[in-house]
Amino acid sequence: MITGAGSGLGAALVRGLVAAGWRVAAAGHRVPPAEAGGDGNGEVLACALDVTRREESVSVVASLLERWGRLDLLVNNAGVTMDRLLAGMRESEWDAVIDVHLKGAFFCAQAVLPAMIRQGDGQILNVGSFSAKQGSVGQVNYAAAKAGMMGLTLSLAREVAEHGVRVNGVLPGVLPTKMTAALSESARDSLVRANLFKRMNSLEEVVSLVVGLAETRNVSGQVFQWDSRIGRWA
């Protein structure tokens, strides 16, 4: 099950996992069939989901378990940005970003965990951001939400390891998506220059990481930064 699967990284992950033979639930507000397709032997099922509503997460997971009998991977990828300097940030802009990224990850993880624990197997993968490590001007809500997701990742990995469930995070780098397209040219250039190879990451590189992690059994509690920017936790 992949949240935020309607476009960008989410849609690319759907295609990559389906191509690798997975049955994938593409969940999101808008999941066009063309975006959720794949060329492999897997199956894709589009699901309407607002991750900020607990009952929707519970309902979608229940329907998937009824259809497939198990759930092996959750990718918490749903995201939104509402950038503004903190001095002028509206409470609604803070709440919306925190709710989609952090509360959404909480609701979805809580919905899938009972099944994964019963199976004695499964993985939750939280999509984070380099902003959580370095901060970003005008993105205090986004950086705080992503830092919270990484804290959730590390703590939950400790909680569920005894049940054979893995929890990991990935910082996918600067990608050619609608989110980066909305940035100014100077802002994009600054992000690219921070990379040792002076280029954006590619969707295909991130998909390869996720597909590989999805098939591992001995990796948990890790946060993988998947580009070449160098930073440290504040």
Catalytic residues: 142
Amino acid at 27: A
Q: How many CB atoms lie within 10 A of CB 207?
A: 20
Amino acid at 54: R
Whose CA is closest to 178, among 10, 1, 3? 10
